[in-house]
Amino acid sequence: MNDKIKVVIDAGHGGTDPGAVGNDLKEKDITLMISKYMLERFKELGIPATLIRSSDETISPTERVKRVLDAYGNDPNVIVISNHINSAATQGAQGAEVIYALRNDSTLARNILKNLGNAGQITRSYYQKRLPSDQTKDYYFIMRNTGNTQPVLIEYGFINNKTDIQRVVNNYKKYVNAVVDAVVETFNINTNTYTVKAGDSLWSIAQKFNTTVNDLKRLNNLNSNIITIGQVLKIPNSNDNTGNYVVKSGDTLWSIANKYNTTVNDLKRLNNLTSDQLSIGQTLKIPTSGDISESNIYTVKAGDSLWSIAQQFNVSVDDIKQLNNLKNNIITIGQMLKIPNSSNSGVGRVYIVQKGDSLWSIAQKYNTTVDNLRRINNLTSDVLTIGQKLFV
């Protein structure tokens, strides 16, 4: 059993670098689609995983390698999966390939290719590729410069072969599942499973493991509620669903709230907490959609002003304006305003963009996500300017 494995997912290319192009498709878009779903799958299994890019972002090779090594450290228990789409001079080329680093053995690459074949994709080969100018080094920088990690580069199909690329686009979730299963099998990762018994239903199993029927169906790629005796089902990790969370060293209510897309106030209310103090090993209930209060949204009424609303919720006018991207103090009846948590308002809420910053680096610094930063700041792109103020 190996529960130390962590996964870094690299969506190849991005931004001004489209990668391979063909049949009105761009490699960067397909790899991002594949990588986002792959992140979901690993997290559903309780395997630590992170994305190198979560949007159409231009990343230099140096920055890409830095993000790989910054994610979980320079460690052989870190698996780097670099997702790509192939292209060839000849129209007939088709199928998947897997390249692995000179420092690693072929087991993971071989298992990935085998599983892709079992999932219905044509398979070509798994191999290593050396730098022509120095045969002791890997050809690809994602292998050559990523320390002691275990990287694999997966080419899912050929973008200039219409049949092949359509097969990839139509079946990418099956192919991602094949890759994820290969990682689990190769490193004997302990995942929660349950063998269906007589009298079981998805509903009864969901109740037993404090999850939902929809989560069970999604995790097991079920298209209906029909299950059979002896069928082995993967069970979502309890810490990744609406259930309980066991406090770990370094946790705060704020970091837990951000992890589960809820609020400090909702966590405190649901767990009857009178302070923000936590203890290691403490079990917290995580709010479900039905538990989450509407206290963070306020609908403007006749006679309201930003000042009176700020006083009501014990926050500042500036906090409300920043959170709602307001340029002035004018509000209208019926307007819906996001209200900052009073425990988090003030110092530390605003970050001024510095030279070299990206949404990804800021998200890492403040233990949040790029998507959260975009949402809370009403950003429509990942472009930042020096001196720009961000709500974090």
Number of structural domains found in the chain? 4
- pLDDT tens digits, 226-257: 998 878 788 876 544 445 677 777 778 877 77
Does residue 291 belong to any structural domain of this protein? Answer: no
> Mean pLDDT in the chain?
84
What does pTM read for this prediction?
A: 0.56
Residue 64 has pLDDT above 90, yes or no: yes
Helix then strand then coil, % of the chain, to nearest 5:
35, 20, 45
Tell me, yes or no, whether 155 and 44 share the same domain.
yes
Q: Are residues 251 and 208 in the same domain?
A: no
**How many residues does the structure list for the chain?**
392
Q: Among positive and negative, which fits the CA dihedral 177, 179, 182, 187?
A: negative
Give per-residue pLDDT as tens, 76-107. 999 999 999 999 987 789 999 999 999 999 99
Q: Judge whether 354 lies within some domain.
A: yes
Secondary structure (DSSP) of 13-36: SBTTB--SEETTEEHHHHHHHHHH
Same domain, 89 and 130: yes
Q: What is the pLDDT of residue 240?
A: 41
Weakest mean pLDDT among 96-110, 127-141, 197-211, 287-301 = 287-301
Is 276 in the same domain as 310? Answer: no
Quick: pLDDT tens for 152-181: 999 999 999 999 999 999 999 999 999 998
Can you tell me the distance from the alpha carbon of 374 to that of 392, in angstroms, rounded to the nearest whole number? 10
For residue range 269-325, list pLDDT tens digits in order: 777 788 888 887 687 877 654 343 434 667 788 888 888 888 777 778 888 887 777
Does residue 172 share a domain with residue 49? yes
CATH number of the domain within which 306 lies: 3.10.350.10
How many Å apart are CA 169 and CA 75, to the nearest integer? 33
Same domain? 339 vs 387: yes
pLDDT at residue 11 greater than cutoff 70: yes
Query: Are 27 and 100 found together in one domain?
Result: yes
In a domain, 290, yes or no: no
In a domain, 335, yes or no: yes
